[in-house]
């Protein structure tokens, strides 16, 4: 099956891969000791997740392995400051390898719009990395970056780049913050474009799509429910899930950043379950998953594999923060646990509460002990 690529993955791969160069310059500077480690992890993590979404398995495994080596070195520095010099050299070497692997993979496997998105992230990151004047882009540089962004078909960004460059040329302060704001705006526009693509591909109305995740929402779920019962013989399984300890996450991260985590989870579910299930964003941190022609035992295996993958996944937000989350899942199946959607929803909800009682981050089928 062809890999489904989230629209932000190639852009993030380009932007954060070239941001590595900036962080490694800081890391090998003795005066910056202790400063870059968290920022470095916040750069490596989206590279790792983007690689898994973008590249063939063999190449993405190499990238993930190298990223894990960076994590290990940073952790060693945290625990033993005397290891700084040795680990800084090792991080520098692994970051250079990481840049090489991602660049090689992008050149070998990305084309069309995905390549334009990768290149736009790369060019914006190179601009953001400038430490010495001139900070404003030259006419040729401005033309190149604008043509690249226009080729992504993401609206409004090329004009924002022109305006930002003009402000920088006129001597405005906070230069790097202004360029970073272009990056944040690009991520936001990509999110909106992904939502528009869902609407177009699935023939949905705007009212039928979640404004947070771009996934079909409860309105669409209720419209689709008749199709779930099209056979009296073939089973289907309904899963209900929500994020564990979400109130704590929302309190620590804030509402907007928590929404980004929800959006990343929605993208993870959609990509992970493509061709196997329909994913709906019910509300807040809650999702429905419908697995057609799938009995409870097979659905449970699928959900447990998804849970394992989720525990190994880090979600990055536009602020550069990283989050690891877990979810609790409850399931009920037609016709075994009910013959109408109200009963199945109620029983999936009851099973999800049982998962919480069992310690969270697990899947429970209604009626199981």
Task: Name the pLDDT band for 1 (thresholds 50, 70, 90).
Answer: very low
- Within 8 A by CB and 6+ apart from 223, the residues are 208
Residue 368, C-beta contacts closer than 8 angstroms, at least 6 positions apart: 351
pLDDT, tens digit (0-9, with 9 covering 90-100), for 281-309: 999 999 999 999 899 999 999 999 999 98
**CA 214 to CA 199: how far, in whole Å?**
8
- pLDDT, position 198: 66
Kindly report, residue by residue over 75-130, the tens digit of the pLDDT. 888 788 788 788 888 888 898 899 999 999 999 999 999 999 999 999 999 999 88
Asked if residue 134 has a cis previous peptide bond (ω within 30° of 0), the answer is: yes
The torsion angles phi and psi of 240, rounded to 5 degrees, stand at: -120, 130
Whether 241 contacts 300, CB under 8 Å: no
Cα 204 vs. chain centroid, distance in angstroms?
23
Containing 330, the helix (H) or strand (E) segment is strand 327-334
* Res 314: pLDDT: 85
Which pLDDT score, from 0 to 100, does residue 184 have?
86
Residue 213 in 3-state DSSP?
A: coil
Q: What are 328-341's pLDDT values in tens digits?
A: 999 999 999 999 99
Highest mean pLDDT among 21-30, 270-279, 346-355: 346-355
The Cα angle at residue 54 between residues 19 and 72, in degrees rounded to 5 = 55
pLDDT in tens, 172-206: 888 888 898 899 889 888 877 777 676 666 666 66
Domain boundaries of the chain, sorted by first residue: 8-196, 205-365
Between CA 242 and CA 221 the distance in angstroms is 17
Q: Can you list the pairs that 30-37 forms with residues at least 24 positions away whose Cβ atoms lie under 8 Å?
A: 33/84, 34/81, 37/74, 37/77, 37/78
Residues 188, 11 contacting (CB under 8 angstroms): no
The Cα–Cα gap between 87 and 74 comes to 7
Could you give the angle at the alpha carbon of 184 between the alpha carbons of 179 and 189, nearest 5°?
120
CA torsion, ordered 104, 106, 108, 110, to nearest 10 deg = 180
Tokens of 292: 């057609």
Looking at beta carbons, which pairs linking 41-45 to residues 24 or more positions away fall under 8 Å? 41/70, 41/71, 41/74, 41/322, 42/316, 42/320, 42/321, 42/322, 43/16, 43/19, 43/320, 44/16, 44/20, 44/70, 44/71, 44/95, 44/98, 45/314, 45/316, 45/322
* Residue whose entry in the numeric block shows the structure tokens 């920088």: 168
Domain 205-365 has CATH 3.30.70.270: yes
Q: Which residues contact 30 (CB under 8 A, 6 or more apart)?
A: none
Instruction: Please report, rounded to a whole number, the percentage of residues in the chain having pLDDT higher than 90.
Output: 47
Please tell me the distance from the alpha carbon of residue 50 to that of residue 63, in angstroms, as a whole number. 10
Task: Write the DSSP assignment of 116-158 as a string of letters.
Answer: HHHHHHHHHHHHHT--SS--SPPHHHHHHHHHHHHHTT-TTHH
Buried b or exposed e, range 151-180, using 16+ CB within 10 angstroms: bbebeebbebbeebbeebeeeeeebeebbe
């Amino acid at each position: 099956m062809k890999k489904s690529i989230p629209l932000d993955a190639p852009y993030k791969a380009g932007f954060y891969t070239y941001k590595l160069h900036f962080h490694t310059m800081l890391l090998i500077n003795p005066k910056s000791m202790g400063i870059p480690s968290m920022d470095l992890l916040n750069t490596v993590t989206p590279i790792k997740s983007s690689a898994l979404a973008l590249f063939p398995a063999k190449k993405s495994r190499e990238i993930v392995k190298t990223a894990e080596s960076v994590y290990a070195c940073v952790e060693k520095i945290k625990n033993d400051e005397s290891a700084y010099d040795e680990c800084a050299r090792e991080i520098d070497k692994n970051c250079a390898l990481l840049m090489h692997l991602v660049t090689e993979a992008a050149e070998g496997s990305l084309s069309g719009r995905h390549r334009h998105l990768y290149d736009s992230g790369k060019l914006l990151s190179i601009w953001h990395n400038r430490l010495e004047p001139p900070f404003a882009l030259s006419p040729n540089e401005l033309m190149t970056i604008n043509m690249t962004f226009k080729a992504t078909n993401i609206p409004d960004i090329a004009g924002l780049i022109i305006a930002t460059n003009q402000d920088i040329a006129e001597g405005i302060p906070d230069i790097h913050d202004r360029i970073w704001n272009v990056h944040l705006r690009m991520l936001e526009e990509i999110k909106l474009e992904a939502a528009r693509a869902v609407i177009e591909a699935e023939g949905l109305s705007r009212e039928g799509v979640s404004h947070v995740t771009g996934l079909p929402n409860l309105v669409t779920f209720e419209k689709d429910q008749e199709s779930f019962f099209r056979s009296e013989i073939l089973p289907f399984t309904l899963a209900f899930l929500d994020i564990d300890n979400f109130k704590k996450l929302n309190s620590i991260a804030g509402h907007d950043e928590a929404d980004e985590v929800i959006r990343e989870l929605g993208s993870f579910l959609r990509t992970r379950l493509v061709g196997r299930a329909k994913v709906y964003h019910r509300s807040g941190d809650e999702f429905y998953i419908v697995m057609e022609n799938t009995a409870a035992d097979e659905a449970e295996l699928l959900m447990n594999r998804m849970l394992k993958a989720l525990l190994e996944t880090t979600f990055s937000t536009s602020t550069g923060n990283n989050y690891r989350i877990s979810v609790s899942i409850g399931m009920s199946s037609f016709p075994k646990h009910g013959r109408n959607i109200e009963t199945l929803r109620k029983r999936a909800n009851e099973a999800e509460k049982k998962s919480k009682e069992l310690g969270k981050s697990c899947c429970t089928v209604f009626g199981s002990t």
